[in-house]
Amino acid sequence: MILKAPFMGTSGGIASEHPLASVAGLRTLPEGGNAVDAAVATSLSLAVTQPHLGSLGGDCFALIYEASTGKVHCINASCWSPKKLTLEHLRNEGLSHIPVESPHAVVVPGLVDGLNKIHRKFGTAKFEKLAETAVHLAEKGFPVSHNPGDFEHTGKLRYRKPRRI
């Protein structure tokens, strides 16, 4: 088992699946950002460094405790199906369920909208600033572990032959 150490500083700590994403989140704190800003910066960087675990095309769920009010806020920005993909439409196509590899299994991503919503409500830093590290990693590159390479190889093997749907 491999344990990932959190990145800690004098203004907070961040733990994520990739050290560069953790550093992105940690950098927001001494610059005046808050925990939500750190979470947004970390999430955006994870979308670049760990796309096989969660990408810009994925979901976003968040529970945010607001200390000033004592309230817990829940954000559910899970993906949704296209508006015209109704149960009636599927039944008319002779489907009783949605096959995982069919075009009907494709959903509208919710991550970016979810991050935007929590940032607008709770964030203090500029969104562009929070995205800087993710953009830099995407444009300039970063060291890749063996896991994403394995994922890519598996995907190529699985989808090598076109399938009729």
**Greatest CA separation found in the chain?**
60
Task: Say if 122 falls within a structural domain.
Answer: yes
How many domains does the chain contain in total?
A: 1
Task: Say if 44 falls within a structural domain.
Answer: yes
Task: Say if 146 falls within a structural domain.
Answer: yes
Task: Say if 139 falls within a structural domain.
Answer: yes
pLDDT tens series, the chain, 165 aa: 455 666 666 778 888 888 899 999 999 999 999 999 999 999 999 999 988 777 888 899 999 999 999 999 999 998 888 888 888 999 999 998 888 888 888 888 899 999 999 999 999 999 999 999 999 999 999 887 655 555 555 455 454 555 555
User: Can you say whether the dihedral through the CA atoms of 48, 53, 58, 60 is positive or negative?
Assistant: negative
Task: Say if 1 falls within a structural domain.
Answer: no
- Token digits of residue 156: 């190529």
Task: Say if 165 falls within a structural domain.
Answer: no
Task: Say if 2 falls within a structural domain.
Answer: no
Task: Say if 164 falls within a structural domain.
Answer: no
Q: Which residues contact 100 (CB under 8 A, 6 or more apart)?
A: none
Provide the domain limits for residue 80.
Answer: 7-158
